[in-house]
Structure 1
Amino acid sequence: MKPNLNRAYMIERLEELLNIPSPSGFCMEIMKHLELEVDRLGYKMEQTPKGTGIITIPGRTEGKVIGISAHVDTLGAMVRSIKSNGMIRFTSIGGYTMESVEGEYCQIHTRDGRRYEGTVLTTKPSVHVYSDARDMKREEANMEIRIDEAVSSKEDTEQLGISVGDFISWDPRVRILPNGWIKSRHLDDKASVAALLGFMEWLQREGKQPLHTIKLVISTYEEVGHGASYIPEEITEFIAVDMGALGEDLSGSEKHVSICAKDSSGPYDYGMTTKLIELAKREELPYAVDIYPHYGSDATAALRGGSNIRAALLGPGVHASHGMERSHADAIVNTAALLLAYVMEP
């Protein structure tokens, strides 16, 4: 089966998603946006009390239910304290290095709906002033956010309505190039969400049903480790769709579908992983099988949450994960194609 997937549709949806701030725990806007798009495709998205989206796609046969997940939540931060000079000290949401956000533009989201621009800096941001500006350790205690407002004291910042616990989102800096390259923060995991939208768009456009009922799980706390810790109990097979890490000792690329055989939670299901490899070969999809020792997924959360499932992990290759990421449209399209191959046939 060679599905005629709508590449332009997936990239357009990806750009929209990337530009909606959604650090873990602050996914209300993006979930509303996604719900409208899912409804436009002819499906319905329900939300659990936790905020996870569940989209049910009926199958041609009854009994077996396959879960497929991707997450919309991203790295970000929260206001930890307001300093006496009006600067913000922040605490990270998700796992990233301070070097990866130094100099980044950001938004502070107040609980009454206001947004303020800012920039992440070290506490010694100028080599013309501080002799140790280059050498100081990049850690939370040495980082702060300069707000683009006329503030010079803690009281000034508080007058803006900014408080401890307000969310902070990073500027994604989205660039979609004519040659298919896509560079942006938060391709982990919005590239996979775009692939799932392409998956649904194909089913709707072609009037097709998968062999078994599918429940798409859109999680909002994956970056902090418990995204899909709850999944519907009728799911027996679960595929986490998440970015494929690239680097030394890894065989994938930004154009490959990455299939993970083992991550920090241990090996994935032998039979499911083998089937994905065989289908990728059959469909002539560029793929790579890799091991991610420093990685966890929504499948990890589901297994640790007690779900009685078989699980596998795949997704588009993403370079410089949790930093200034880059992927390619081919990897997103091929991820959707591999998922369709898996669910359309026995």
Structure 2
Amino acid sequence: MTYPNTQETVNVIKDLVSIPSPSGNTNEVITFVEQFLAKSNIETKRNRKGGLIATLPGKDDSQHRMLTAHVDTLGAMVKEIKPSGRLKLDLIGGFKYNSIEGEYCEIETAAGEKYSGTILMHQTSVHVYKDAGKAERNQANVEVRIDEKVHSADDVRERGIEVGDFVSFDPRVKVLPNGYIKSRHLDDKASVGILLQLMKQVQEDKLELPYTTHFLISNNEEIGYGGNSNITPETVEYLAVDMGAMGDGQATDEYTVSICAKDASGPYNYELRKKLVELAKQHDIGYKIDMYPYYGSDASAAIRSGNDIVHGLIGPGIDSSHAFERTHMDSIDNTTKLLYHYLFAEM
């Protein structure tokens, strides 16, 4: 038994987080995933929503499994071009303006041109604005300063920037010698990297899975409906691989795999949860059971859309989710090991 190499997984995660992919603009990162899997001769197909499905045949084709992780991330769109030449934003996904204040960003036009910018409070300069620290961080006050000589809305439009253009945030990915990984968008590109490495290992080692298994790389999870379709009638178990949320009252940490018992959608399947815990115990895998009060996953979206499936949720623990995220290689490693044993376990 050989697990995927954790350092190689981290390298894939670095590549993934470095590709801008706010929900609604994910073609580039999906193409990266396609090409990655093609190198291992894994066939894929895109669904009409732009997500990607890979299928590995199993000994039993009458019952299927499905695993999913999402490549779409938080981001923004240009809401308004101000007379000053700065941009007002509209947010994509569930986060707050304070979590992006001071962040470098990239504006992509419909023609594919890309411009650098910085997300700032209008009242940033303490030498000018008395209320710089007290002003509310909201849509009215937060704006994008474009790194171009623009002084009016016309100057901005001359560069092809318009309402509806996508704005992505600089991930600032950094892997430290002590195993910590800091970056935006570890939710959920850490999980995508893990699944890619697992598929590669199974394929290249010519391992036979007990059940035909589908891997959905979804692209609309942050807006609620990434994994709610393309589920075969034979699918019995559906496991979302997404980050474990950390904070006051939470059991999840940055070193173990988080197994979700319940989120805002309600409890996950009890029998599947118990099976995941038993696998972790059998193979000496560090884990935590947790609940996420303000969270929903592709698995909960699949249940809400009426699929008759057993659903579960696990993932690496991520600190400061939807902001300045961090995890550790230990969490990547434990999540990988649990998924490996789950793929070869009996239903």
TM-score by length of structure 2 reads 0.98
Aligned to 1:117: 116
Q: State the Cα deviation string for residues 3-35 of structure 1 (Å, max 9, x = none).
A: 332122211111110100000010000011110
Aligned to 2:318: 318
Aligned to 1:345: 345
Cα deviation for residue 167 of structure 1 reads 0.2
Quick one: distance in 1 between partners of 2:194 and 2:332? 6
Task: Report matched runs for 1:154-193 at 5 Å.
Answer: 154-193=153-192
Amino acid at match of 1:81: E
Work out whether residues 231 and 302 of structure 1, in 8 Å CA contact, stay in contact via their aligned partners in 2.
Answer: no
Unaligned runs of at least 5 residues, structure 2: none
Aligned to 2:267: 267
Quick one: distance in 2 between partners of 1:244 and 1:209? 29
Aligned to 2:205: 206
Aligned to 1:78: 77
Counting aligned pairs with the same residue, the percent is 46
Task: Report matched runs for 1:43-192 at 5 Å.
Answer: 43-192=42-191
Work out whether residues 3 and 337 of structure 1, in 8 Å CA contact, stay in contact via their aligned partners in 2.
Answer: no
Amino acid at match of 1:103: G
Unaligned runs of at least 5 residues, structure 1: none
Cα deviation for residue 128 of structure 1 reads 1.1
Quick one: distance in 2 between partners of 1:103 and 1:343? 42
Work out whether residues 121 and 143 of structure 2, in 8 Å CA contact, stay in contact via their aligned partners in 1.
Answer: yes
Amino acid at match of 1:237: E
Indicate the RMSD between aligned Cα atoms, in angstroms. Answer: 1.0
Q: Would you identify which runs of 4 or more consecutive aligned residues in structure 1 move more than 6 Å?
A: none
Amino acid at match of 2:266: G
Cα deviation for residue 204 of structure 1 reads 2.2
**Secondary structure of 1:133's partner?**
coil
Work out whether residues 259 and 314 of structure 2, in 8 Å CA contact, stay in contact via their aligned partners in 1.
Answer: yes
Aligned to 2:244: 244
Cα deviation for residue 122 of structure 1 reads 0.9
**Secondary structure of 2:330's partner?**
helix
Aligned to 2:196: 197
Work out whether residues 6 and 202 of structure 1, in 8 Å CA contact, stay in contact via their aligned partners in 2.
Answer: no
Quick one: distance in 2 between partners of 1:197 and 1:166? 30
Q: Which moved more, 1:89-98 or 1:332-341?
A: 332-341
Task: Report matched runs for 1:15-34 at 5 Å.
Answer: 15-34=14-33
**Secondary structure of 1:108's partner?**
strand
Aligned to 1:280: 280
Quick one: distance in 1 between partners of 2:21 and 2:307? 26
